[in-house]
Amino acid sequence: MPIDPNIALGAQLESIDFAWTPTDVQHYNLALGAGARWTDPAELRYLDDRAPQVLPTFATVAPFFHETEPPKVQFPGIDIDLAKVVHGSQEVVVHQPIPASGKATFERRISELWDKGSAAVIWQEHTATSSDGELLWTARSSIFAKGEGGFGGDRGPSSKSELPDRTPDFDIFTPTLPQQALLYRMCGDRNPLHSDPEFARAAGFPNPIMHGLGTYGLVCKAATDTVLDSDATRVKSFRTRFAGVLYPGETLHSRIWKTAEGELTIAVTVVEREESPVLADVVLTYE
In terms of DSSP H, where are the helices of the chain? Answer: 5-8, 22-31, 41-44, 180-184, 197-202, 212-227
Contact 136, 129 (CB under 8 A): yes
Candidate list 24, 27, 115, 189, residue with the active-site label: 189
**Starting at the edge strand that comes first in sequence, how are the strands of the sheet with 119-130 ordered?**
16-20, 102-115, 119-130, 135-146, 85-94, 235-242, 276-286, 263-270, 251-260, 170-175
Candidate list 87, 194, 211, 253, residue with the active-site label: 194
Say which residues have a Cβ less than 8 Å from residue 47's Cβ, sequence separation at least 6: 26, 29, 30, 34, 35
Residue 87 is a catalytic residue:
no
CA distances from 158 to 14, 79, 114, 148, 232 (A): 31, 25, 11, 19, 32
Residue 189 is a catalytic residue:
yes
Contact 114, 156 (CB under 8 A): yes
What are the two backbone dihedrals, phi and then psi, of residue 74, each rounded to the nearest 5 degrees? -130, 110
Q: How far is residue 85's CA from residue 267's CA, in Å, rounded to a whole number?
A: 23
* Residues labelled as active-site residues: 189, 194
